[in-house]
Chains A and B, each alone.
Chain A
């Protein structure tokens, strides 16, 4: 508390001149006020957070630490008007708390609570002079709203970044190219095959053919619910391209629905080697490669 009041005094001594307008002296004044009552206001804020059942995923100690630093950052932004530092901090904070399962409404909620707690303390301080209070609020509100905005936007952006990252890794995992035998690759595809995934599949398949020197590739689409015309044509082209690289393609596991789609939209399947299930597909592949077929058909 003594340290806080010392800071406040120092700040009171040299208010940073934000602007030369008289009104803008109010902001430094209110910053000094918020610094002076830092401890009390922060505690009040923390208890309001608790009452509102926000941040319940975090321990009380963590909540206390975070609220302290959010408070300090908040006041600092009010003082300097520099949103960059806050953006940086908010991103940092989001990175820490998103894995803990903190939701967007909680983050927005706590920032709005802080805004309200601080506004109340200003009402209290300036209650004798309504005109002055109005002017203080005029200075306070835009800054506070900007902060709330910044924090919310940073949080959402961070979440989106994480989602994008996860999508990328899911996509990478989603089209594995597995060498099961010398010269034999398997591509099990599970889930919806959209244009982007089909493109990626082609890329991975063609580079896989070169890397593994594959002669036969089995693409298993048992796990694909449906395809559209663009994807079906893309598959046909992938088969053609593989053949140009010297690898034959067997497609297995066409669902009745996909078969119907392919026939209805009139995809040219004459060059496609399709076989009912993966097991028969592997047997056929081994036959093409010259392995003795028979019991060896079931591989992993």
Chain B
């Protein structure tokens, strides 16, 4: 996508896309990430998206808003999004700043995220399952 070490990677795994953010992104990089990811969803005909933010030690308001936006766009394009790997410190500072992921599901790590996606796919999409982890 761009030169230099990859800031993000978007990998396909079956029906899912696994997007990992490797380092703190500035706002324009965040926007580019959003565009690439939403493009990929269409190209790969993905049904699920996992955004792994485990490498981030801070997630600001723009970052969390963009993640929410990605999830909503993904839903419009037919894919369910899970955000995984939010670190304890990051989680608490986000909560303190009143930032959240809105209705977007969050999970502990990649494994949990995959499990969540496989759980909601097989039966009809159902709100009960979204509340599984509440």
The reply to whether B88 and A209 form a contact with Cβ atoms under 8 Å apart is yes
Whether A244 contacts B108 by the Cβ 8 Å rule is no
| Contact indicator per residue, chain A 186-228, by CB within 8 Å of chain B (1) or not (0) | 0000000000000000110011011001111000000000000
10 contacts between A and B (CB under 8 A): A203-B88, A206-B88, A206-B92, A209-B108, A210-B88, A246-B108, A246-B109, A246-B133, A248-B133, A249-B134
| A273 close to B (CB within 8 Å) | yes
Q: What count of chain A residues pass the 8 Å CB interface test?
A: 25
CB distance from A209 to the nearest CB of B (A): 7
A244-B106 contact, Cβ under 8 Å, with A206-B92, A237-B92, A238-B92? yes
Q: Does B95 contact A (CB under 8 A)?
A: yes
- Within 234-281 of A, Cβ neighbours of B (below 8 Å) are at 237-238, 240-249, 273
Which of A238, A242, A246, A249 has most chain B Cβ within 10 Å?
A246
- Given A206-B91, A210-B108, CB of A244 within 8 Å of CB of B134: no
Interface residues of A (CB under 8 A from B): 202-203, 206-207, 209-210, 213-216, 237-238, 240-249, 273, 288, 290
Chain A residue numbers with a CB within 8 Å of B96 are 237
Q: How far is the CA of A273 from the CA of B134 in the complex (A)?
A: 9
In the complex, the answer to whether A288 meets B95 with C-beta atoms within 8 Å is no
Q: How far is the CA of A237 from the CA of B88 in the complex (A)?
A: 12
Q: Mark B72-108, 1 if CB is under 8 A from A, else 0.
A: 0000000000011010111110111000110000111
Chain A residues whose C-beta falls within 8 Å of the C-beta of B95 in the assembled complex? 237-238, 240-241, 244
For the A-B complex with A242-B91, A245-B108 known, give 6 more contacts whose Cβ atoms are closer than 8 Å. Answer: A206-B89, A213-B112, A215-B132, A238-B92, A244-B86, A246-B107
- Does B88 contact A241, Cβ atoms closer than 8 Å? yes
A195 to B15, CA, bound (A): 46
A-B contacts counted at CB < 8 A amount to 72
**Contacts of A242 on B, CB cut-off 8 Å?**
91
Q: Which of A203, A244, A288 has the most CB of B within 10 A?
A: A244
Q: Is the interface of A mostly helix, strand, loop or mixed?
A: helix
Q: Using Cβ atoms and an 8 Å threshold, which residues of chain A touch B89?
A: 206
Give the residue name and chain of the A residue nearest to B100 (CB): A240
How would residues 115 to 134 of chain B score, 1 for a CB under 8 Å from any chain A CB and 0 otherwise? Answer: 00000000000000001111
| Smallest CB gap from A210: residue in B | B88
- The residue on A at minimum CB distance from B94 is A244
- In chain A, what residue has the closest Cβ to B82? A246
Nearest-Cβ distance from residue B126 to partner chain A, whole angstroms: 14
CB proximity of A204 to chain B, nearest CB, Å: 10
Task: Kindly state the separation between the CA atoms of A237 and B94 in the bound complex, as whole angstroms.
Answer: 9
Contacts of B108 in A (CB 8 A): 209-210, 213-215, 245-247
Name A244's contact: one of B101, B109, B131 (CB within 8 Å): B101
User: Cα distance A244–B63 when bound, in Å?
Assistant: 14
- Return A207 CB to nearest CB of chain B, in Å: 6
Complex Cα gap A235–B106 (Å):
19
Verify A215–B92 contact, CB threshold 8 A: no
CB-defined contacts of B133 to chain A, threshold 8 Å: 215-216, 246-248, 288
**Most chain B beta carbons < 10 A, residue from A206, A213, A245, A247:** A245
B92 engages A246 (CB within 8 Å): no
Knowing A215-B133, A238-B95, A240-B95 are in contact, say whether A246-B112 is a contact too (CB < 8 A).
yes
Q: How far does the alpha carbon of A207 sit from the alpha carbon of B92 in the complex, in Å?
A: 11
The answer on a CB contact under 8 Å between B132 and A245 is: no
What is the CB-to-nearest-CB distance from A202 to chain B, in angstroms, rounded to a whole number? 6
Closest beta carbon of chain B to A37's beta carbon, Å: 66
For the complex, what is the distance from the CA of A243 to the CA of B94, rounded to whole Å?
11
